[in-house]
Copies of this chain bind each other. A is one copy, B any other.
Amino acid sequence: MQTTFRVQTRGPGLYEFTREVAHWLPEGDGLLTLLIRHTSASLLIQENADPDVQSDLRAYFDRLVPPSSDPAMAYLRHTMEGPDDMPAHIKAAVMPVSLSIPVQNGALRLGTWQGIYVFEHRARPHLREIAAHLHHD
């Protein structure tokens, strides 16, 4: 059983779509797999309680991978698509592109504080596609 989730982004940051995923799951046990079909955004499982966690994550990764217009990044060559493009590819190498989550009685076996997010790395809005596969036991 497969589907595609679509998440509309409006600039860099985390966008939760746990509810859409949970709603799609049928009864029974199995394994859910998600794959983001892009090289400038990531999939994360992260804390869904304090929104500061999400803005801190963005602040940290913007410092870890500065824009290619930053003098410290002058060695980068893939700069034609904007100063946020190559950093987006780097962030997409550091953070997950696919996630697998066991399912029991139709529910994701996530921890209490875990939510599923798209982490958008580009400045402009994007409609991000996530390929989803559910294996029924």
Contact = CB atoms under 8 A, between A and B. Distances in A.
A113 B37 CA distance: 9
Given A50-B78, A97-B99, A113 B39 contact: yes
Interface SS, A side = mixed
Contact of A37 (B75, B94, B110): B110
Interface in A70-110: 75-78, 86, 89-90, 92-102, 104, 109-110
Interface in A29-69: 29-31, 33, 35, 37-39, 44-47, 50, 52-53, 55-57, 59-61, 63-65
Interface residues of A, number: 57
Contacts of A132: 102
9 contacts: A39-B45, A39-B47, A39-B114, A52-B77, A56-B77, A60-B90, A93-B95, A96-B97, A100-B133
Interface of A: 1-2, 29-31, 33, 35, 37-39, 44-47, 50, 52-53, 55-57, 59-61, 63-65, 75-78, 86, 89-90, 92-102, 104, 109-111, 113-114, 119, 129, 131-133, 135, 137
